[in-house]
Amino acid sequence: FFLQFVFHTYTTAFTLINGNGTPKAEGYSLQQKQIFLGLGAISYSACIGALPLAFANRYALKSSLMQLFVKKLLPAPLLGLMNAFTVAMVRSPEFDNGIEVMDRNGKVIGVSKKAGEKAVMETALSRAVLFGTTFFLPEVLMYFVQRARFVKNPRALGPVRMFVIMSVLAGMLPVSFSMFPQCGEIKRADLEPEILTSTEETEFFYNRGI
Parts of the chain with a pLDDT under 70: 23-31, 56, 59-64, 67
Report the alpha-carbon distance of residue 185 to residue 150 in Å, rounded: 47
pLDDT, residue 30, reads: 64
Report the alpha-carbon distance of residue 99 to residue 123 in Å, rounded: 14
Give how many domains the chain has, as a whole number: 1
pLDDT, residue 24, reads: 61
Domain span at residue 64? 1-207
pLDDT, residue 27, reads: 45
DSSP 8-state assignment for residue 18:
T
| pLDDT tens per residue across span 35-73 | 888 899 999 988 888 887 777 677 666 666 776 777 777
- Tallying the residues shown for the chain, one arrives at 210
pLDDT, residue 205, reads: 93
pLDDT, residue 29, reads: 61
Query: Do residues 165 and 134 make contact, with C-beta atoms less than 8 angstroms apart?
Result: yes
pTM: 0.83
DSSP 8-state assignment for residue 154:
G
Q: Between β-strands 108-112 and 183-187, what pairing exists: parallel, antiparallel or unpaired? A: unpaired
CA distances from 82 to 46, 52, 76, 168 (A): 8, 14, 10, 19
Report the alpha-carbon distance of residue 7 to residue 42 in Å, rounded: 9
Query: Do residues 176 and 132 make contact, with C-beta atoms less than 8 angstroms apart?
Result: no
